[in-house]
Structure 1
Amino acid sequence: MTNSHDTLAMISDIAAICTEPMPADDLATAVIERLSGDIPFEAAALSTYDPTNGVHSTIAGTEYPSEVVGYLNDGFTVDDPAFLAMRFRHSRPLRWCDIPRYSETFSAREVFQPSGFREGVTTCLFTRDGRYTGSLHLSTTFAVPLSDTDVDCLAAMRPVLGTLLDSLRVVSAAAWTDLVDSAEESALLTKGKQLVPLPGLPCGTLLTQDGPVMRRILVAAALPGQRSLYWTAPDGRTFLIQLTPVSAGSVVTMRERRPPRGLTNRELEVLALLTQGLSNSEIGAELHLSHRTVATHVEHILEKLQCRSRVAAAGLATAEGIVAPPATTG
């Protein structure tokens, strides 16, 4: 790619592809084909991330051997220093040449080079609201890195591709009725912040204006895009609550689910309060637990989320739609 006109044309075409009413894997294949017209690479893969189980899976790709694809979706995402920097620091796309002595890392030495690759770039993808949804990998058999212009182009496309790979997005829903299929309860949250019944559907017992989960729903609704959170009801059941923007507000659905990432119901409650900034003592008072019990729950949460700090756990839980983000005032 040689000039700004080409860059804008590329981004415009990719954006148009991503909004077509087709399955995500078909659109991802079309994206890679379009990229190949302007960006030099010999292998490519678009991998989506499922926040419910922490697994990456490739939905479109070309020319990567199966063992490389397997590594990109597994070991690369947990051990490669460049990937970890991009995912958790939201950095720009990184080429081999951007990382000192990258050719000596395990990824390059044991996986990419034996398969014939000498350079490459990975782009971590995020939605506009900051949720990580997957990654784009491009590799070449020649040791010439992509140009800075190409990297700028990939960086500019991240929100578009991030939305395409979002495992929580609604794909080609024919009507709002598709959104509420199989939901235990559903309602419309109006732009005036009122929960009202959807046409032809009965009122629920939990999704009510003065219900116990209303505050968290309002916090989630204040953020752009589709949002989700898990919530433990007073009777001990855990629900996945999803908010999908529509022209009149947001369709809210509740489906009974097990907590994600192996969390227990109690750990989910502790995580929700931890994310709101409460201390262990405050969490204990809220849930009627001892300080030692809360500390044990926090330790288990950090282990299951693979985080080293409370702040990291809160950020990850919010980004993956496990709990509602901290409420803001003002």
Structure 2
Amino acid sequence: MHDARLPLALRIASAVIESTSPRSAATALLEQICDHTPVLAASVMSFNPITGQHTVLSSTGYRLEVLDFLRSPAFLQDDVGYQQLVRRPDGGALGWRDVPGDYGQSPSAVRVFRPAGYSGGATARLLTTDGRYTGDLHLSCDDPDRPTLDVLQALRSVVSVMAVTTDATRRLSDVLSYVDAEVSAAVVTAWAGIVPIPGRAVPALLHDRSDVVLCVMAWRTRGQPTSRALFYMPRGTAGLQIELIAVPGGSLVIEHPAPPSYGLTAREVEILTFVSDGMLNVSIARRLEISERTVAHHVEHLLGKLGVRSRTAAARIAIEYGLRLLPGCPGPT
């Protein structure tokens, strides 16, 4: 329990920082606000840029149909007050009385809020310090003069702190805990979007080649046997190891600058990819438009480098160490 004599902004910040999970932080945040000012309902919603969905982290007083409205296009795209927040570069918070005109006569108020018993309220649009939208805080009251100006000022001063609570992408930091901080990573969504990870550079390969994004999407949707896979991508003189991890709504892409293991050439990795797919030399030769003898020569060399005698053993190493090309992406030229 925080000292009620402390400023509201400080109490909110302390509650968020001391919490151990997004939901507990959202609940603690609402407790501090509700202890400070009379409200009929309050909620904290998180926006997931990977799935494009809003999730209620904590709520009190709202009926389900109101919560559904607050995360629907009817509010997020059409509400006159919320659109003012969208146009603000720092997000911030707006009360009903801050919206030009009579917000009480707006479609949102007439159709949803007033029938639910609300005649005042406010919304804070939560943006991180680097400008990423992560969710919303909603308050509804039975007094058009509430929340008061001091409450709105407190919310505006801690928007970026509250945004940490609702930041869905920050939770991927746990997945990346084993990866060095300088390694680049991002999420490719189901609709070909690229979502940055806080504190990480976006893999250059995703910016430079749109075909890689499509290949990652195909890997995610084609029923891959595992939720994690390694691949090799020719690039410059060294190449890259691409690690893919399935996450809800997309694929986490981690880019490791590294030449292929075992001293394989880019061409040998390409042929090993076909071998691991179960293709025979004659089929590989037709695919690459080279002679079957040349393919056999490459296979002999790569088996020797891998220290194995069978194509099955070579395929097993290819999958384990990422010595295969990302399906659908062109190999070396």
Alpha-carbon displacement from aligned partner over 1:129-155 (angstroms, at most 9, x marks no partner): 110000000011122232221111010
Quick one: which amino acid aligns to residue 157 of structure 2?
A
Q: Tell me, yes or no, if the aligned pair for 1:119 and 1:144 is still in contact at 8 Å.
A: yes
Q: Please tell me whether residue 68 in structure 1 is matched to residue 66 in structure 2.
A: yes
Distance across 2 between alignment mates of 1:59 and 1:32: 11
1:132-143 pair list within 5 angstroms: 132-143=133-144
Q: Tell me, yes or no, if the aligned pair for 1:119 and 1:143 is still in contact at 8 Å.
A: yes
Map of 1:14 onto structure 2: 12
Distance across 1 between alignment mates of 2:17 and 2:173: 10
**Displacement after TM superposition at 1:187 (Å):** 4.6
Q: Tell me, yes or no, if the aligned pair for 1:7 and 1:153 is still in contact at 8 Å.
A: no
Map of 2:176 onto structure 1: 179
Alpha-carbon displacement from aligned partner over 1:246-267 (angstroms, at most 9, x marks no partner): xxxxxx9843669x89xxxxxx
Map of 1:237 onto structure 2: 215
Residues 153/73 of structure 1: CA separation in 2 closer, same or farther (3 Å cut): same
Distance across 2 between alignment mates of 1:152 and 1:13: 14
Distance across 1 between alignment mates of 2:60 and 2:213: 49
Q: Tell me, yes or no, if the aligned pair for 2:47 and 2:167 is still in contact at 8 Å.
A: yes
Distance across 2 between alignment mates of 1:226 and 1:39: 39
Quick one: which amino acid aligns to residue 70 of structure 1?
D
Quick one: which amino acid aligns to residue 86 of structure 2?
R
Map of 1:158 onto structure 2: 159
1:141-290 pair list within 5 angstroms: 141-170=142-171, 173=174, 178-179=175-176, 187-190=179-182, 225=199, 231=206, 232=210, 237-238=215-216, 254-255=243-244
**Displacement after TM superposition at 1:59 (Å):** 1.1
**Displacement after TM superposition at 1:52 (Å):** 1.5
Map of 2:76 onto structure 1: 77
Quick one: which amino acid aligns to residue 38 of structure 2?
P
Three-state SS of the structure 1 residue aligned to 2:42 is strand
Map of 1:203 onto structure 2: none
Residues 126/92 of structure 1: CA separation in 2 closer, same or farther (3 Å cut): closer
Q: Tell me, yes or no, if the aligned pair for 1:129 and 1:225 is still in contact at 8 Å.
A: no
Residues 22/96 of structure 1: CA separation in 2 closer, same or farther (3 Å cut): same
Map of 1:86 onto structure 2: 85
Three-state SS of the structure 2 residue aligned to 1:30 is helix
**Displacement after TM superposition at 1:234 (Å):** 5.2
Distance across 2 between alignment mates of 1:20 and 1:69: 27
Residues 135/49 of structure 1: CA separation in 2 closer, same or farther (3 Å cut): same
Counting matched residue pairs gives 209
What is the root-mean-square deviation in Å for CA atoms of aligned residues?
A: 3.6
Alpha-carbon displacement from aligned partner over 1:72-94 (angstroms, at most 9, x marks no partner): 01121121021122023235311
Residues 189/23 of structure 1: CA separation in 2 closer, same or farther (3 Å cut): closer
Quick one: which amino acid aligns to residue 45 of structure 1?
S
Residues 159/82 of structure 1: CA separation in 2 closer, same or farther (3 Å cut): same
Distance across 2 between alignment mates of 1:227 and 1:7: 42
Alpha-carbon displacement from aligned partner over 1:25-58 (angstroms, at most 9, x marks no partner): 1221111011111123121010111111322121
**Displacement after TM superposition at 1:236 (Å):** 5.3
Quick one: which amino acid aligns to residue 62 of structure 1?
T
Residues 125/226 of structure 1: CA separation in 2 closer, same or farther (3 Å cut): farther
TM, length-normalised to structure 1: 0.55
Structure showing greater radius of gyration is: 2
Distance across 1 between alignment mates of 2:213 and 2:158: 44
Q: Tell me, yes or no, if the aligned pair for 1:21 and 1:172 is still in contact at 8 Å.
A: no
Distance across 2 between alignment mates of 1:48 and 1:253: 29
**Displacement after TM superposition at 1:117 (Å):** 0.3
Unaligned runs of 5+ in 2: 186-195, 221-240, 251-333
Map of 2:50 onto structure 1: 52
Quick one: which amino acid aligns to residue 89 of structure 1?
R
Three-state SS of the structure 2 residue aligned to 1:46 is strand
Distance across 2 between alignment mates of 1:235 and 1:69: 34
**Displacement after TM superposition at 1:167 (Å):** 0.4
Q: Tell me, yes or no, if the aligned pair for 1:43 and 1:139 is still in contact at 8 Å.
A: yes
The runs of at least 4 aligned residues of structure 1 exceeding 6 Å deviation read none
**Displacement after TM superposition at 1:12 (Å):** 2.4
Distance across 2 between alignment mates of 1:129 and 1:233: 28
